[in-house]
Structure 1
């Protein structure tokens, strides 16, 4: 069976990828897209209902390349009921309904964390025919898409195309996704002499991987178990920045930090 890799560009002013620290009053974000979040995005693009079995979607392999990590944004706000009644707690009764708080609370402070101005290259690998269906849905989604949360729509383009190359190789070959603004900041950080290459981290699904993530989706139904673990490997990928590298230092002027130690 032939297979393909779909490359997605996940970039936006704001992204938020839920992790195991999710709580009622504080919603954290992982530093990169989670598999449960990306598969959920693809399920929405296909028009799948939340209670539908994941089927082939759960069997897809994913890799993430962090081209621009972005910065962390903390959003503080409060929640109240417009009817002026006490808020409910996060605990459920036997009928599955929220219980009232032991002491009536009318205002609850909450925090939401987001990634600002981040850009990720995500590769999804699976059977060629199914990947063609997903690619078409990503370009013409059945539902509105969000990068982790509904309030975080992706910027254009989302789908970068299909390739028959393996997942890791596809992540290595695609050009750097940094925007002109991100490239400008990169150049300023390097005092106007930006290097010609940059090493970016990548997380690639691998059954023999040394790390374990708890973001393999099982179901998106509220009444069922939702995640399990998967193995990944971490690596650095060297990409061209498009900048002309600074000239080498003249002979005899190179600085050797170990020279003072007599090495």
Structure 2
């Protein structure tokens, strides 16, 4: 089996599971439904499209840079006839988080998904439309299973966090992944059956949490230049190769 890898990094992310009504919470790591939804957007599929192609895929994430929870509020307004109601709604986000996400499956299916991620039909977001990804998103396909890929891929954290982690003697990263049939885990309801606005449906999946030594990861790690991945957030990076970029207009 092969594994498709993504680097999920942005100033703000939000991965909800049980958000309802006026309080929209976030998990501390990306959800299966959120990542699958991002790929569906890249493929240009409608909300009514079948998700059968994703069902056999195994999913997991490695928490390379834990985020901090931030709360925002918005004013909601409803007009009904001559009466008007206004109330406060709350939104929760992860700030400055970086994750390594992987999907394990057949090489043919993963190649199709990878092609869509590098040429997305719709703009991509990390959980919510207001959270576009920063830097390189698609890392490539590794000829290894999910667990091996998550344990061997280079540390994706920002340079400033890597320095902080070394000062604080952080020696392990956490992996959250689909449990094997013989493993005991806990249930998370983020396995998407349908994204239809008429009938959204999510099932439970069994999840396990484990740790991987940073020394093991660094032993397999390529340098940042070899990977060609920018670890810093540059909001103008996507415009640098555009003929109508702001930079060219100002020159």
In the alignment, is the contact (CA less than 8 A) between 1:211 and 1:231 conserved in 2? Answer: yes
The CA RMSD measured in Å over matched residues stands at 1.9
Q: CA deviation at 1:105?
A: 4.8
Query: Secondary structure of 2:54's match?
Result: helix
Q: CA deviation at 1:198?
A: 2.1
Residue 184 of structure 1, aligned match among 163, 171, 174: 163
> CA separation in 2, counterparts of 1:62 and 1:228?
14
Q: CA deviation at 1:5?
A: 0.4
Distance 1:105 1:58, change over 3 A: farther
> CA separation in 2, counterparts of 1:174 and 1:23?
36
Q: Which blocks of at least 5 consecutive residues in structure 1 are unaligned? A: 87-99, 243-263
Query: Secondary structure of 1:56's match?
Result: helix
Distance 1:199 1:187, change over 3 A: closer
Q: 1:11-90, aligned counterparts within 5 Å?
A: 11-20=9-18, 22-80=19-77, 85-86=79-80
- The structure richer in helix per residue is 2
In the alignment, is the contact (CA less than 8 A) between 1:175 and 1:239 conserved in 2? Answer: no
2:209 paired residue number? 234
Residue 159 of structure 1, aligned match among 111, 135, 138: 138
Residue 200 of structure 1, aligned match among 165, 173, 176: 173
In the alignment, is the contact (CA less than 8 A) between 1:39 and 1:58 conserved in 2? Answer: no
2:149 paired residue number? 170
2:196 paired residue number? 221
> CA separation in 2, counterparts of 1:60 and 1:216?
11
For residues 210-237 of structure 1, the C-alpha deviation after alignment (integer angstroms, 9 at most, x for no partner) is 2211111000002224100111221101
State the number of aligned residues: 215
Query: Secondary structure of 1:177's match?
Result: coil
In the alignment, is the contact (CA less than 8 A) between 1:201 and 1:235 conserved in 2? Answer: yes
Distance 1:187 1:4, change over 3 A: closer
> CA separation in 2, counterparts of 1:137 and 1:34?
20
> CA separation in 1, counterparts of 2:199 and 2:76?
27
Q: Which blocks of at least 5 consecutive residues in structure 2 are unaligned? A: 219-251
Divergent runs of 4+, >3 A: none
> CA separation in 2, counterparts of 1:46 and 1:176?
28
Q: CA deviation at 1:136?
A: 1.4
Residue 122 of structure 1, aligned match among 76, 101, 104: 101
> CA separation in 1, counterparts of 2:134 and 2:59?
20
TM norm structure 2: 0.80
Greater Rg over alpha carbons, structure: 1
Q: Is residue 2:104 matched to residue 1:107?
A: no
